[in-house]
Amino acid sequence: FTNLGDLPVLPQPESFALTAAYNEDSFPNKVNLGQGVYRDNNCQPWVLLSIREVKSNPIPLTTPSNSPISFLTPSQAEQTLHNQQVNHEYLPIPGHAKFLAKARELLFSPQIGSQDNITSIQAVAGTGANHLAAIFCARNLRPKNVFISDPTWDNHHLIWEIAAPNVTRKLYPYYDPSTRGLNFDGMLSELENSAEENDVVILHACAHNPTGIDLMQDQWKKIADVVARKKLFVVFDCAYQGFASGDADADAWAIRYFYTTLFAKSSSPTGPAGMFVCQSLSKNFGLYGERIGALHLVTPPSLPTQGAKAHLVQLVRAEISCPSLFGARLVHTVLDSAELFSKWQDDVKTMAHRIKGVRALLKSELEKLGAQGDWSHIEQQIGMFSFTGLSSAQVRQLRERHHIYMLSNGRMSLSGLNEGNVAYVAQAIKDVL
Ligand code: PMP
């Protein structure tokens, strides 16, 4: 038995620690480029217009079993989903069925989303989906290794360490510091040479965190080919659909390609045992604190899926009994209405285009100031982050001298930049180079 007093104090996750330090800082021009959360051009959290509309317009109120019970009037604006008329019953263990069907279509397309070899279950955001996937794999697939990109979202390591302690975590090369680009040959040969049948490989579907570097379509095809030949089990982590390019279909290309080549009716029956897709709706719906997501299990065509689903349901039962309602109601309402869906498509364009805009601004400010080096990678990378190439010492100086907060590996969350502070940040970077 461990004496609880002897337990060592663990470091806080860096992005949360940075936000806490930033909040404490009283310097007027401080800049938070740490946590991956979207901010508008005034550095403020942004509630998507489509979500605002759901919260302020009459929508059908539904019970968890989805039978409409009443409609609100416009005068009850803003209270809609919090209104007492909305009941707060338990959802079924797998989650809000209509939300799941719509979320699946968003990810896979309506045509693939209706196929019966995809089983979906609601999760506590993307993190919860990753966690369920790890436990499920460790218990049922029993892989020897899980291959994780180097670098990656740091929580991949923690999740697999805690949820799947018997699975060895291995890194596959991803980032090449000498080119500030993708080390595709390293990635491919590591999977080719070191992975064994049923090993898990975690792939970032789009807007790779932290590098902002994605595979091109012909590179995805080569990875799918290794996965098929070696019968690897892919866990796609999809946390930024729509956020990367501004187009949700384009950002889901890799997932749909893997489905079509490995799991469609026409695919080889001797392929991989299955594939998970962890879907976060935190960033692309701006619902960070609502913790809404889904986990989709794709199985080879014509295999029964009831057993796998029952095991997922059991894991949810043990962890949270059943998932929460609010986020599922919001997302379902948007995805179920042609008008709101079109507004949401504009919302993701707004976010993606603002981020692309500040990429160009930062690069041009750095060039204008004559900051030493080539800054083209800032504009070439995609998604919420830039892997700047700044060293941890330079990052520390940015914080100590200029009150600019970013991860020590040089990852900058671009959403903290705007027209008002980009010149200040560029000048500070020049100063620490
Ligand atoms: N995966 C990746 C790659 C991420 O960047 C994030 C968010 N930082 C997540 C999963 C999880 O997001 P959430 O749990 O907030 O939905």
Task: Specify the pTM.
Answer: 0.93
Q: Give the model's pLDDT for residue 426.
A: 97
Q: What value of ipTM does the predicted structure carry?
A: 0.99
DSSP letters, 262-286, are IISTTS-TTS-S-EEEEEE-TTTTT
Nearest Cα neighbor of 361 from 430, 411, 425, 407 is: 425
Give the C-alpha distances (Å, rounded to integers) separating 381 from 7, 235, 245, 346. 41, 23, 11, 22
Which phi and psi (to 5°) does residue 147 adopt? -95, 125
User: 204 CB under 6 A from ligand 1?
Assistant: yes
How does pLDDT run across 29-85, given as a tens digit for each residue?
999 999 899 999 998 999 999 999 888 765 554 444 444 434 434 333 334 455 545
Give the list of residues 6+ apart from residue 44 with CB closer than 8 angstroms, or none.
Answer: none
Q: Which helix (H) or strand (E) holds 165?
A: none
How does pLDDT run across 232-270, given as a tens digit for each residue?
999 999 999 999 999 999 999 999 999 999 999 888 777
| The dihedral sign for the CA sequence 251, 255, 258, 263 | negative
Mutate to test the pocket of ligand 1, among 19, 130, 153 (most ligand atoms within 8 A of CB): 153
Low-confidence stretches of the chain (pLDDT beneath 50)? 61-80, 84
Contacts of the segment 65-72: beta carbons below 8 A, 24+ positions apart = 66/96, 66/97, 66/98
Q: Give the model's pLDDT for residue 62.
A: 47
User: 412 CB under 6 A from ligand 1?
Assistant: no
- What's the CA-to-centroid distance between 132 and ligand 1, angstroms? 14
Q: Give the model's pLDDT for residue 78.
A: 38
Give the list of residues 6+ apart from residue 62 with CB closer than 8 angstroms, or none.
Answer: 68, 69, 329
User: 127 CB under 6 A from ligand 1?
Assistant: yes
* Minimal-distance CA residue to ligand 1 atom 2: 239
Q: Give the model's pLDDT for residue 314.
A: 98
Q: Give the model's pLDDT for residue 417.
A: 96
Q: Give the model's pLDDT for residue 338.
A: 94
Mutate to test the pocket of ligand 1, among 37, 107, 155, 238 (most ligand atoms within 8 A of CB): 155
d(CA 100, CA 119): 10
Q: Give the model's pLDDT for residue 82.
A: 53
Q: Give the model's pLDDT for residue 271.
A: 85
Nearest Cα neighbor of 199 from 191, 209, 211, 189 is: 191
Q: Which atom of ligand 1 is nearest to the CA of 153?
A: 3
d(CA 265, CA 221): 19
Q: Give the model's pLDDT for residue 85.
A: 58
Q: Give the model's pLDDT for residue 65.
A: 46
Q: Give the model's pLDDT for residue 276.
A: 98
User: 293 CB under 6 A from ligand 1?
Assistant: yes
Q: Which helix (H) or strand (E) holds 375?
A: none
Q: What percent of the chain has pLDDT over 90?
A: 86
> How many Cβ atoms from other residues are within 10 Å of residue 425's Cβ?
25
